[in-house]
Structure 1
């Protein structure tokens, strides 16, 4: 995925399935300048990771 698409998903009112290494995640923030995204892994709001948007896939 690229930063632009990650930002579009983050801003969308629709629910769009995104995965990180096969695990479902929610995009919490996108840092377009650095190509990074903060994602919530699973159902725990405190379980977040900051990763390259290139690691995210849309399903």
Structure 2
């Protein structure tokens, strides 16, 4: 995924997109355009977050 698409998903009010990180569902919580990074929630636990390169995210 590229930064532009990650931002589109992050800012969409409906959030009806399936995004995965290495096969696991994630929720985009923030996108850092300058560095090409995204903070994501992995799975259902809101405290399980990771900051990863947006290229690692995949949209189903």
Report the TM-score when normalising by structure 2.
0.95
Aligned length: 59
Provide the C-alpha distance between the structure 1 equivalents of 2:23 and 2:33, rounded to a whole number of angstroms: 23
Provide the C-alpha distance between the structure 2 equivalents of 1:41 and 1:22, rounded to a whole number of angstroms: 11
Is 2:26 aligned against 1:25?
A: yes
Provide the C-alpha distance between the structure 2 equivalents of 1:54 and 1:38, rounded to a whole number of angstroms: 12
1:13, CA displacement in angstroms? 1.6
Any stretches of 5+ residues in structure 2 without a counterpart? none
Any stretches of 5+ residues in structure 1 without a counterpart? none
Report the TM-score when normalising by structure 1.
0.97
Provide the C-alpha distance between the structure 2 equivalents of 1:30 and 1:13, rounded to a whole number of angstroms: 15
